[in-house]
Structure 1
Amino acid sequence: MRSSSYLTATLLASLPFAISPAAAAVDNKDPGRFVESLATTGFGVLKGSKAAARGQFRTLLGQHFAVDAIGDRLIRRWRPKVSAAQYQAYKAALPNFIIGTYADRLYDYADASIKVVRVQNQGDNAAVLTQVTKPGERPVNAIWSLSKVGGGYKVTNLTVAGINLAVAQTADFDSYVQRNGFDALIAFMKRRG
């Protein structure tokens, strides 16, 4: 899982994984403004201390990401085979796993900028094409998949440079469970968190 997790972390780097008091300024009614304001706020917070950003990551996940839907998608193949207790343990471990796996790697992107290129509305869903640029590097395209939840948008997936983040993480989890079992996946997630 190490090399694939590193790739996933690189992909996640286009996401802002922290939130500041300016979070109220995140506009989740319009998909383009939502992605732009969320990224701007998040990249700004990444310029602060790692401890503060890491501590605020859980808030960001809860407010602006469809964590339950994402988590269910990652184990879709295994869901019918796991017990209710295993499922609850997985759901409890997921946010800390994300934080533990990715948060510290994002500081390389604190000085990145994001530009919304195009928004495609599809009913209650939207796809927002952006370009993420680190100074001195070529822009990387990122497509944010959004769904309207409770009157505002939430992030449901991300595709960066043509690589679908949910598909990559699902493959990692599937491989791990095939080799080690579902309980071992949960234990691994807890160690990473």
Structure 2
Amino acid sequence: MRSIKIIAAALLAASALPGVVATPAYAQAATAADSAAASKWVVDISNKVFAVLKDKSLSQNAIRGKFRGMMRESFALDEIGNKLIRRYRSQITPAQYAAYQAALPDFAINAYSDRLENYANASVQPVRTVPRGTRGDIDVYSRISRPGSQPFDAVWTVRKVGNDFRIVNITVAGINLSLTQEADFSAYIAKNGFDALVTFMKSSNAKALAA
């Protein structure tokens, strides 16, 4: 799952992933004030992540626990998960879908947990914001840097939900991570079946828990 690793780096650096029902909060176009708030929100999320990374008193399990909470609070997980399997959504049973949704958050978290320390000194600099569409989406363009590495650009597509925001997609160095991960999942399902994907995710989660 190569793109999970790409997502991992992006999540750590700057936040430190059909069937979605639009709510009234989703149906409002972003205003100039929303754009400014979205940019600040991305920076605030970054600072929270960096604080966790720099806290030497935390165990690996404690770090994972904190990141699990952060991810659930800051990512539109249901929507992201739906996008990744949208080609197969109509072909799977409710039980298969529930199993997939249950495995997805920990799978994403565990995919990048081993890389946490590498991003303890990373920083994110917002560059500009661009409203997208009429659903309250905003692209937050940023430059991510860390000592000893070349800086790279990331675009965080966030959606206003009430008075808060949720990440719905990330584009890193021109690579749309949602589309890339969708292609990876689709290839795995085409070769092995949907149940095999869920089994793989659960197995990865279990191994990470036992480590």
TM-score, normalised relative to structure 2: 0.80
CA distance in 1, matches of 2:173, 2:93: 36
Aligned pairs, number? 183
Query: Deviation of residue 113 (structure 1)?
Result: 0.6
Amino acid at match of 1:148: K
Please, which of 79, 95, 100 is the counterpart of residue 85 of structure 1? 95
* Equivalences for residues 32-47 of structure 1 within 5 A: 32-47=39-54
Give 1:158's aligned residue: 170
Please, which of 103, 108, 118 is the counterpart of residue 98 of structure 1? 108
Contact 1:29–1:153, Cα closer than 8 Å, also in 2: no
Identify if the C-alpha distance between structure 1 residues 29 and 66 changes in structure 2 by more than 3 Å, giving closer, same or farther. farther
Amino acid at match of 1:76: R
DSSP 3-state at the match of 2:190: helix
Amino acid at match of 2:80: I
Please tell me the root mean square deviation across aligned C-alpha atoms, in Å.
Answer: 2.0
Give 2:76's aligned residue: 66
CA distance in 1, matches of 2:103, 2:148: 37
Identify if the C-alpha distance between structure 1 residues 34 and 172 changes in structure 2 by more than 3 Å, giving closer, same or farther. same
Structure 1 stretch displaced more, 89-98 or 5-14? 5-14
* Equivalences for residues 110-121 of structure 1 within 5 A: 110-121=120-131
Query: Deviation of residue 150 (structure 1)?
Result: 2.8
Give 1:54's aligned residue: 64
Give 1:127's aligned residue: 139
CA distance in 2, matches of 1:114, 1:7: 17
Contact 2:158–2:167, Cα closer than 8 Å, also in 1: yes
Contact 1:74–1:169, Cα closer than 8 Å, also in 2: yes
Unpaired runs of 5+ residues, structure 1, are 18-27
DSSP 3-state at the match of 1:159: strand
- 1:13-41 Cα offsets, whole Å, 9 max, x none, are 42436xxxxxxxxxx98101000111111
- 1:78-107 Cα offsets, whole Å, 9 max, x none, are 100000100001011111111121222232
- 1:42-84 Cα offsets, whole Å, 9 max, x none, are 1221122333221112211221110000000000001000001
CA distance in 1, matches of 2:98, 2:36: 31
CA distance in 1, matches of 2:172, 2:3: 14
Specify which structure has the bigger relative contact order, considering alpha-carbon pairs within 8 angstroms and separated by 6 or more residues. 2
Give 2:26's aligned residue: none
Query: Deviation of residue 186 (structure 1)?
Result: 0.4
TM-score, normalised relative to structure 1: 0.87
Please, which of 157, 174, 188 is the counterpart of residue 176 of structure 1? 188
Q: Does 1:145 align with 2:157?
A: yes
Query: Deviation of residue 142 (structure 1)?
Result: 0.5
DSSP 3-state at the match of 1:136: coil
How high is the sequence identity, in percent, across the aligned residues?
A: 42
Contact 1:29–1:152, Cα closer than 8 Å, also in 2: no
Contact 1:14–1:142, Cα closer than 8 Å, also in 2: no
